[in-house]
Amino acid sequence: MQTIRMDMREKTDPEMIRKAGEILQRGGLVAFPTETVYGLGGNALDEASSAKIYAAKGRPSDNPLIVHIARLEDLALLVTDIPEKALILAQAFWPGPLTMILPKSPIVPDATTGGLKTVAVRMPSHPAALELIQAAGGYVAAPSANTSGRPSPTTAAHVIEDLDGKIDCIIDGGQVGIGLESTIVDLTGETPEILRPGYISKAMLEEVLGKVTVDKGLTSEDEKVRPRAPGMKYRHYAPKAQMTIVEGEEDDVVRTIRELARKDTAAGLKVGIIAAAESAPKYSEGTVREAGTRSDARTIAVHLYALLREFDEMETDRIYSEAFEEGQLGDAIMNRLLKAAGHHVIRAEKM
Ligand code: AMP
Ligand code: MG
């Protein structure tokens, strides 16, 4: 299949959007930019389109898709109940990087929700995404536009790397704004629960909702306590190299990573280092990449996946990453880093 590339880096083009919308209406697949990562869109109400998404990504079919809408009034068709809390969240954070889990209506095919009785819904804020969803008829199922198991794409080039020739069309909107997937919050229980951390933090949710819990499966060391979002159990976002996160005081972390990099390099291994701008100049061995500055976590989030992809391309054997502070976006950054590293963390010893 020849994948059409539509260039909308400068501005969204209504004629091209109309064409891409038609492709979706006919059951085809279109990758498009959102404010979080690139999505791989198909008609959410069409079982065959969802099946095509799973096939193109090589995604396990028990891992449900997020349905994207462009207008709040379109939510009613997808769900059997819109709790007050969903309206409060929509008012506060839609359009934006927040996905809500709600009880699914019969119109949503099981193929879209991986057989679950609930559906994940989001209204993205990227203008091209909103226009495309409308042009497609209002309901676009879109997981991240990567091959399953690879880091999510934050540029159109990443999408092309993974999916060229496997999908009908790619809308190139340049680099995304946030760089990490949406926050997922489950509203089907008594207390809202975060199933995946993202740009919209626990504190931001609690400010409008009151008490919010976090899925224990995200942080539990116990193998039996699995994450509740089916996708979070996979070793997603994973680079090919063995990855280790080093935490502790900055000087101790730098010294520890330098020591590990020196040993690995001496053993003939290719080493990649992910560091904050503040400490990056302190490394002398391995390929050092600045993720961003510790004073603004957004600069780290937006570069993280591109760095993991770059290290794959360089066929790095070992990756060492500094740990980053938790807190608003920091929780989401550490969640993705931990997954990439298969939860392999060491604590830097003090001198
Ligand atoms: P992606 O769109 O690739 O970022 O992945 C979508 C994420 O949403 C995966 O982790 C899914 O497991 C999760 N998800 C989608 N639908 C549901 C649902 N009904 N209940 C819980 N998690 C969901
Ligand atoms: Mg994904």
- Which CATH number is 4-232 given? 3.90.870.10
Residue 194, ligand 1, Cβ within 6 A: no
Residue 143, ligand 1, Cβ within 6 A: yes
Average pLDDT rounded to a whole number, residues 303-325 = 96
Please state the atom number of ligand 1 nearest to the C-alpha of residue 63. Answer: 12
For the cut 90, the answer to whether the pLDDT of residue 237 exceeds it is no
| C-alpha dist (Å) from residue 22 to 34, 176, 254 | 19, 24, 52
Ligand 2 geometric centre to CA of 301 (Å): 15
For the cut 90, the answer to whether the pLDDT of residue 98 exceeds it is yes
Please state the atom number of ligand 1 nearest to the C-alpha of residue 116. Answer: 19
Ligand 2 geometric centre to CA of 142 (Å): 9
Ligand 1 geometric centre to CA of 221 (Å): 22
Is residue 254 within 8 A of residue 279, CB to CB? The reply is yes
Ligand nearest to the CA of 40: 1
pLDDT value of position 234 = 63
pLDDT value of position 61 = 85
* Ranges 18-22, 54-58, 239-243: which has the least confidence: 239-243
For the cut 80, the answer to whether the pLDDT of residue 325 exceeds it is yes
Residue 218, ligand 1, Cβ within 6 A: no
For the cut 70, the answer to whether the pLDDT of residue 175 exceeds it is yes
* The domains spanning 4-232 and 242-347 adopt the same CATH topology: no
Average pLDDT rounded to a whole number, residues 9-29 = 97
Secondary structure of the chain in HEC code, one letter for each residue: CCCEEEECCCCCCHHHHHHHHHHHHCCCCEEECCCCCCEEEEECCCHHHHHHHHHHHCCCCCCCCEEECCCHHHHHHHECCCCHHHHHHHHHHCCCCEEEEEEECCCCCHHHHCCCCEEEEECCCCHHHHHHHHHCCCCEECCECCCCCCCCCCCHHHHHHHHCCCCCEEEECCCCCCCCCCEEEECCCCCCEEEECCCCCHHHHHHHHCCCEECHHHCCCCCCCCCCCHHHHCCCCCCCCEEEEEECCHHHHHHHHHHHHHHHHHCCCCEEEEEECCCHHHCCCCEEEEEECCCCHHHHHHHHHHHHHHHHHCCCCEEEEECCCCCHHHHHHHHHHHHHCCCCEEECCCC
Is residue 292 within 8 A of residue 302, CB to CB? The reply is yes
pLDDT value of position 239 = 85
Ligand 1 mutation target, pool 54, 184, 194, most atoms within 8 A of CB: 184
For the cut 90, the answer to whether the pLDDT of residue 233 exceeds it is no
Of 239, 266, 256, 263, the residue nearest 345 (C-alpha): 256
Residue 192, ligand 1, Cβ within 6 A: no
Please state the atom number of ligand 1 nearest to the C-alpha of residue 232. Answer: 10
Handedness of CA 38, 233, 340, 304 (dihedral sign): positive
Residue 312, ligand 1, Cβ within 6 A: no
Nearest 10 degrees: CA dihedral of 291, 294, 296, 302? 20
Please state the atom number of ligand 1 nearest to the C-alpha of residue 152. Answer: 3
pLDDT value of position 195 = 97
State pTM to two decimals. Answer: 0.96
Confidence of residue 112 (pLDDT cuts 50, 70, 90): very high
Which protein residue's CA is at the shortest distance from atom 17 of ligand 1? 120
Please state the atom number of ligand 1 nearest to the C-alpha of residue 99. Answer: 8
Confidence of residue 267 (pLDDT cuts 50, 70, 90): very high
pLDDT digits (tens, 9 = 90+) for 176-227: 999 999 999 999 999 999 999 999 999 999 999 999 999 999 887 777 888 8
Average pLDDT rounded to a whole number, residues 305-331 = 95
Ligand nearest to the CA of 65: 1
Ligand 1 geometric centre to CA of 250 (Å): 35
Residue 116, ligand 1, Cβ within 6 A: yes
| C-alpha dist (Å) from residue 287 to 107, 298, 338, 340 | 50, 22, 20, 18
The strands making up 30-32's β-sheet, listed across from edge to edge, are: 4-7, 169-172, 30-32, 39-43, 140-141, 66-68, 118-122, 98-103, 183-186, 193-196, 213-214
Is residue 232 within 8 A of residue 196, CB to CB? The reply is yes
Q: Is the peptide bond before 33 cis (omega within 30 degrees of 0)?
A: no
Ligand 1 mutation target, pool 63, 226, 339, most atoms within 8 A of CB: 63
Domain boundaries, the chain: 4-232, 242-347
Which protein residue's CA is at the shortest distance from atom 13 of ligand 1? 229
In the chain, what percentage of residues exceed pLDDT 70?
99
Look at domain 242-347 and name its CATH class.
alpha beta
Mean pLDDT, the chain, integer:
95
